[in-house]
Amino acid sequence: MLTEETNRLVVPVVMTLAGHDPVGGAGVQADMEAIISQGCHPVSVITCLTVQDTRNVQRIDPVADYLIEQQAEAILADMPVAAFKIGLLGSVAVVEAVHRILLQAPDVPVILDPVLAAGGGQSLSSDLLLEAIREYLLPLTTLLTPNVPEAASLALAGETQDDYAFSLLDQGCEYVLLTGTHAATERVENALYADGKRQRTWLWERLPQTYHGSGCTLASACAANLAKGMDVSKAVAAAQAYTWGSLQAGRRLGRGQWIPDRFYWRQG
């Protein structure tokens, strides 16, 4: 029989620090669905409030840095967080607050999805924000999950996706999973980098639609798998398969991008 103490520790806890998306396709809602689907318990810290729909983002209001820290500190004092997943940041002050939070749990893996643009094309970053991410977060990141444009924005040098990934590793990331959804290739090519080289490449059928929250889904599934104790390569492989299934089963609920079905396997 499980005791109260052992039962409390059965399900790994994953903390998502991300923005609130009113339509539920991306942000904290997407993260929580993906984390639950992988058998973990999600806890959330809201970094930004947004005005958006499935077409684009109209407004972002970052949450006050002290409220971000208080949200996280209350959870960390109460629960054994096994992984951090970071999404939309919105301001330098938010980046600095997240940095202070991560320093309180230095042994917990950090999965950073650098949300620098909305699916509809709206920029969500600035030069100052990029500099802050490089300085405060990349050196603490276990796994970075950028697409090619995001990698190019954060890299300090390079002309190819390999160059961008190596630059990000040089800035302190332990692993980089560079996703190829924005590249003009027949199939989507995702590549995992570590130790100054490309470790592994995956090819996925390119789906015909565009999706709201695909990057959130992938990063959160990676975080959940790492929280369960999987090694990075296996965690990333499993997360990609899950994300592809979620996208393939996605639905157009609004007038813009499709929303992934993160519980697709439960459909009769």
pLDDT digits (tens, 9 = 90+) for 78-103: 999 999 999 999 999 999 999 999 99
Average pLDDT over residues 254-261: 94
Q: Tell me, letter by letter, the H, E, C secondary structure of the chain.
A: CCCHHHHHCCCCEEEEEEEECCCCCCHHHHHHHHHHHCCCEEEEEEEEEEEECCCCEEEEEECCHHHHHHHHHHHHCCCCEEEEEECCCCCHHHHHHHHHHHHCCCCCCEEECCCCECCCCCECCCHHHHHHHHHHHHHHCCEECCEHHHHHHHCCCCCCHHHHHHHHHHCCCCEEEEECCCCCCCCEEEEEEECCEEEEEEEECCCCCCECCHHHHHHHHHHHHHHCCCCHHHHHHHHHHHHHHHHHCCECCCCCCEECCCCHHHCC
| Confidence at 1, pLDDT banded by 50, 70, 90 | very low
- Report the predicted TM-score, pTM, of the whole model to 2 decimal places: 0.93
Domain 13-261 is of which CATH architecture?
3-Layer(aba) Sandwich (3.40)
pLDDT digits (tens, 9 = 90+) for 126-147: 889 999 999 999 999 999 999 9
Find the range with the poorest average confidence among 45-49, 113-117, 120-124, 164-168.
120-124
